Amino acid sequence: MRIRWKFGLAALFAAALTACGGPEKKTLVIGAILPLTGPAAHAGNEAYQAVQLAVDEANASGRLAPYTLELIARDDVSDPKQAVSAAKDLASNPSVLGVVAHFNSGCYMPASKVYHENGVAAITPAASNPSITLQGFPEIHRIVTTDQVQGTAFGQFISKHGVKRLAVIHDKTQYGEPLADMVRKSAVSAGVAVVSYDGIQVGDKDFRALLTTLREKKPDAVFFGGLYDEGGLLVKEMRELGMKQTFFGPDGIKGKDFLDVAGSSAEGSIVSFIGNNADNLPGAKKFLDDYQKRYKQAVENFGPYAYDVAGIFVAALENILKRNETPSRALVLDELQKIQYSGVMGVTEFDEHGDNKNRAVSFYRVETGKFVFLEAISVSPS
């Protein structure tokens, strides 16, 4: 009875404080729109969990005191329509000061117009189609490098490792096709003969007819521009047809889903990843350890970038508060134009388009079911 009475007094006291204009919770809000379900859910949830980790760390540190940072998350299901709807939802909330925006280029492109129209700063941890940041929207940023850079580096890598004849396949998406085209151009300029260039449909399961035709053209290697499921099926069916050529793929297939679909056929596949290898960066170790401890799983792909995107927003808000100004969308956007952020993936500084000036691409080989780092290539601005 006494315990109930004490809690009742506490509740009455809190209510009285509020009624009399006492202290109330002060919050700053950022959003995250990522594929929490659907074909890229594994990577999307890693990114979301990394953002949440960064938000919780910021609150624990008191960097934004007297404010508490709040994260509002939405699921875009890797679907452009859902992405636009989620963007409109967050943009209509005046409390949202910035957004960790989208995993897929096909989602970020249409949603970018929403952020622009509402003056909301958006930074993607993964979407790499070059066209996204060439629209002239000052609100639109990305922390990863572009497919133009990735494609250029891939062409150099393929040539360097002795490939003379290359077959190129893409998934006809805003991510896969431009990237495959860039790889084709880069490979040709490096002296590699591209013997075929074909598109497949996302969701298809049987590529044996296409692969049989490719086999007759005798390529040394096959590059696929696309995502996990189709990439895994392609290499699996290649091996079933007796094709021993090296299978190359971009950052869109670097993850557990590709390994699950391809099974043992993934062995020897070589994939790129936009950015440096986190395992080799001193600043990344604490994040990788903290993520593993909290979520009981290792980081596989874009988690470090999502963590840094959240960190950039925290740094921007902190800078604003240090000037004794009230954070707003306009002030956050102004901070992004001049920020030099030292994060777990290195230093981020945005150029005039909103792209990161850090233009490294890493390469990995699948060995005994794991992605083993091979080398990194830096590409100079074109």
- Integer Cα distance of 335 and 353 in angstroms: 15
Reported confidence tier of residue 18, pLDDT bands at 50, 70, 90: very low
CB 30 within 8 A of CB 286: no
Reported confidence tier of residue 23, pLDDT bands at 50, 70, 90: low
User: Per-residue pLDDT tens for 317-338?
Assistant: 999 999 999 999 999 999 999 9
Examine the pLDDT at 5 and tell me if it is beyond 60.
no
Going by DSSP bridges, is the β-strand pair 360-367/346-348 parallel, antiparallel, or unpaired? unpaired
DSSP secondary structure, 236-248, as one string: HHHHHTT--PEEE
Q: Does the N-terminal peptide bond of residue 66 adopt cis geometry, omega within 30 degrees of 0?
A: yes
User: Per-residue pLDDT tens for 340-359?
Assistant: 999 999 899 999 999 999 88
164 phi and psi angles, rounded to 5 deg:
-105, -30
**Percent of the chain clearing pLDDT 90 (strictly above):** 81
Inter-CA distances, 153 with 164, 194, 257, 376, Å: 16, 16, 24, 9
- Tell me what pLDDT residue 382 has: 59
Examine the pLDDT at 1 and tell me if it is beyond 60.
no
Domains parsed from the chain with CATH numbers: 27-145+280-350 (3.40.50.2300), 148-273+362-378 (3.40.50.2300)
User: Per-residue pLDDT tens for 205-214?
Assistant: 999 999 999 9
Reported confidence tier of residue 2, pLDDT bands at 50, 70, 90: very low
Reported confidence tier of residue 47, pLDDT bands at 50, 70, 90: very high
Examine the pLDDT at 10 and tell me if it is beyond 70.
no
Q: Is 282 exposed, middle or buried (0-12, 13-18, 19+ CB in 10 A)?
A: exposed
- Tell me what pLDDT residue 326 has: 97
**Percent of the chain clearing pLDDT 70 (strictly above):** 93
- Tell me what pLDDT residue 8 has: 42
Examine the pLDDT at 248 and tell me if it is beyond 90.
yes
- What stretches of the chain adopt beta strand conformation (E)? 27-34, 68-75, 96-101, 121-124, 140-142, 165-170, 193-199, 221-225, 246-249, 270-274, 341-343, 346-348, 360-367, 370-378
Among 173-177, 215-219, 267-271, 290-294, name the one with the lowest average pLDDT.
Answer: 173-177
- Integer Cα distance of 184 and 348 in angstroms: 29
Mean of the per-residue pLDDT values of the chain: 91
Report how far Cα 34 is from the mean position of its chain's Cα atoms: 9
DSSP secondary structure code for residue 203 in this structure: T
CB 304 within 8 A of CB 287: yes
pTM of the complete model? 0.81
- Tell me what pLDDT residue 147 has: 87
